[in-house]
Amino acid sequence: MDGMGETVDVLVVAGNYGTGSRGGGVSTLICAVVDDKRTGADDGTCYSTFVRIGTGLTFADYAWIRNKPWKVRDPKNPPKWLHTASYKSHDDKGDVYLEPEDSFILKVKAAEIVTSDQYHLGYTMRFPRALSIRDDLGIEDCMTASQVLENLRSEKKRKMETTDVAHKKRKTSA
């Protein structure tokens, strides 16, 4: 994370079909982090939804993404490894999903991390945009929920320290 916003490496787990000029395929990506606090069926790796991204990628990136083996999401039988919000919102569910072994890591930057009941993690990114597809990383390099929360705590602490310094008054001589 840097001083000009938050940057994370997340796993693309689902997507929504686009409309208009972006119609005909997946155009919005739902990303997740490793849920290192819980496990799913057969104790495999589980993922918690965290952010939805619709900007930052090129047409070539979207062409590559649309050629992935997307599966239609069945609301009555969702993937066991994917933890979504219990909230009625469709924000973190997606129209289609990717199995983790078929997925990829996306580098995402945003203004900040904020609380949200629309994602399983309980947080999301404010004004997110994709920076790049991380073809140098595998799914095992995805950030964990603990890492996101630790970075959030560090950022809050840094902001508090900056605020404290700004409020201190200088001594003046008279």
d(CA 149, CA 120): 13
* Strand-pair partners of 71: 97
* List of domains in the chain: 6-166 (2.40.50.140)
Q: What is the pLDDT of residues 75-132, one digit of tens each?
A: 899 999 999 988 677 778 999 999 999 999 999 999 999 999 899 998 999 999 999 9
Query: With a threshold of 0.85, does the pTM exceed it?
Result: no
Q: What is the pLDDT of residues 9-65, one digit of tens each?
A: 999 999 999 887 777 889 899 999 999 986 555 568 999 999 999 999 999 999 999
Residue 111 CA from chain centroid, whole number: 13
Q: Which of 157, 86, 95 is nearest to 116 (CA)?
A: 86
